[in-house]
Structure 1
Amino acid sequence: MDLDELFPDKPDDPLKLLTKQDLDPLSVDELHDRIAVLEAEIARVKAKLDASVSFRASAEDLFKR
């Protein structure tokens, strides 16, 4: 999926800008740091997704009764 599809109305969206940033000037240490930050963000988003799915399942379960 293209980022333009995810954020068509937000040309200054931080995620879109992040993917277009030139990585050439970054050192190896800076690239490792960037990966660590991005992996932490992925974990945070996955935790939110899991919580949302769990909450929805709980709500659906509640209304089935």
Structure 2
Amino acid sequence: MDLDELFPDKPGDPLTLLVKQDLDPLSVEELHARIAILEGEIARVKAKIEAAVNHRASADALFKK
């Protein structure tokens, strides 16, 4: 999926800018640090998704007849 599809009206969105950033000037250490930060963000997003799914399942169970 293209980021333009995800954020079509947000050209200044940080995620869009992040993926368009030139990586050539970065050192190997900087690239490893970037990966660590992105992996942390991925874990945070996955936790948010899991919490949302669990919340939805709880609500569905509560209001199910």
TM-score, normalised by the number of residues in structure 2: 0.98
State the Cα RMSD in Å: 0.5
TM-score, normalised by the number of residues in structure 1: 0.98
Aligned residues: 65
Runs of 4+ that moved beyond 3 A: none
Quote the residue 1:39 is aligned against. Answer: 39
Can you list the C-alpha shifts for 1:1-56, whole angstroms capped at 9, x where unaligned?
11001000000000000000000000000000000000000000000000000000
Gaps of 5+ in 2: none
Instruction: Give aligned-pair identity as a percent.
Output: 77
CA distance in 1, matches of 2:44, 2:11: 24
CA distance in 1, matches of 2:4, 2:61: 36
